Amino acid sequence: MANDKSPDTTSSTIVPPRMVRLDKSGTDDIECSLHLLPKPLMREFGHVFNDEYLKFGSDNSGDEVMSDAADADSSLRLLAIPTNQRAREDLVAVGDHIEQEKDRLLNVFISFGQYICDQLRAKGFWADYIDPCSGLPMISLNCNKVYSEVDGMECLLNYKAYNAGFCKILTHPKWGSAVYPATIFAHAPTDIVRTVIASLPAGATA
């Protein structure tokens, strides 16, 4: 919980980082956690998504889904689900093998992000995830502001970063710069999102 003194736990933490995977028999592990959206990220969230999360379901004709969301109205929160994957290569390096590894990590995250968003949206709650390549939302339309994954990980998880030329490089406390960050956002009750995350198979120990 938020009073845990672990360096990757901050005051916004609801569920601390844990390793999960979509496929129990697979090996594509993702570190994920759940956070209330802290004030420092509220402004950036507003720039990136505008008020798209408030429009979700306004013209949805699914009465059962909408009633579920309406029942939870008073407990709706803006939430962030930061994810990190351990890369097989140091992603600061360059070369075809680095690009291939980035493509692999991207595909793993897209499957993960789409699954989480599908689960929440099916329950009547807004969710979206950031394209790690562009920094733009994957589901919400008409959004053209870029989200900074590095800044987000610094704020949500207290992970460190350093400047390399014009780039800001994230460092994971265990994996260094062999890390691939990407974030999912939701407007939903914390218990609903917590349950979705808890339902995922556990990954290997980091």
> Can you give the pLDDT at residue 5?
47
Angle at 186 between CA 184 and CA 190, to 5 degrees: 115
> Can you give the pLDDT at residue 10?
78
> Can you give the pLDDT at residue 143?
87
Q: Percent of the chain having pLDDT more than 70?
A: 87
3-state SS class at 157: helix
> Can you give the pLDDT at residue 73?
52
> Can you give the pLDDT at residue 68?
52
- The 10 Å Cβ neighbour count of residue 34 is 24
Tell me which residues of the chain have a pLDDT lower than 70.
1-8, 58-74, 206
